[in-house]
């Protein structure tokens, strides 16, 4: 995507990945991590995503419970350009549907942007 759209392309990945945010399939293959500074860094050669759901793991919140263990299989991951936005929400339009994603997941000031 970056090759076609450019390095500042806004990318939002969301869905049921059937893995937790700390699994190798997410951190190494999809390159979605829990380090905002690293994702935003210009010194990093590779493009990483910030996994906004990581923060809920320590709070014992999950999207799937197996036995007594909480799992975060449904996840939102954002590109560096979205993480750097100065809005507190993104309203994403897809056809006649809208998705409101609050950026308090990644701590930015008050405003809202429509995609």
C-alpha 88/C-alpha 107 separation (Å) is 8
21 and 32 in contact (C-beta within 8 Å)?
yes
Which residue in the block uniquely carries the two structure tokens 């935003």?
A: 40
pLDDT in the model for residue 109: 45
26 and 52 in contact (C-beta within 8 Å)?
no
pTM > 0.85: no
Mean pLDDT of 101-111: 53
pLDDT in tens, 45-92: 788 999 988 878 777 788 888 898 889 899 989 888 887 766 556 666
| Mean pLDDT, all residues of the chain | 78
Confidence bin at 105 (pLDDT 50/70/90): low
Which residue in the block uniquely carries the two structure tokens 């998705």?
A: 99
Q: Which residue from 8, 41, 34 is spatially nearest to 20, judged by alpha carbons?
A: 34
């Amino acid at each position: 995507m970056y090759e076609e759209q450019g390095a500042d392309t806004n990318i939002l990945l969301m869905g049921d990945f059937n893995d937790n945010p700390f699994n190798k399939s997410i951190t190494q293959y999809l390159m979605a991590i829990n380090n905002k500074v690293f994702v935003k860094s210009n010194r990093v050669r590779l493009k990483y995503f910030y996994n906004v759901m990581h923060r809920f793991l320590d709070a014992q919140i999950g999207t799937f419970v197996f036995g007594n263990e909480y799992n975060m299989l449904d996840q939102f991951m954002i590109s560096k350009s979205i993480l750097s936005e100065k809005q507190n929400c993104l309203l994403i339009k897809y056809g006649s549907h809208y998705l409101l994603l609050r950026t308090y997941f990644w701590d930015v000031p008050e405003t809202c942007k429509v995609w």
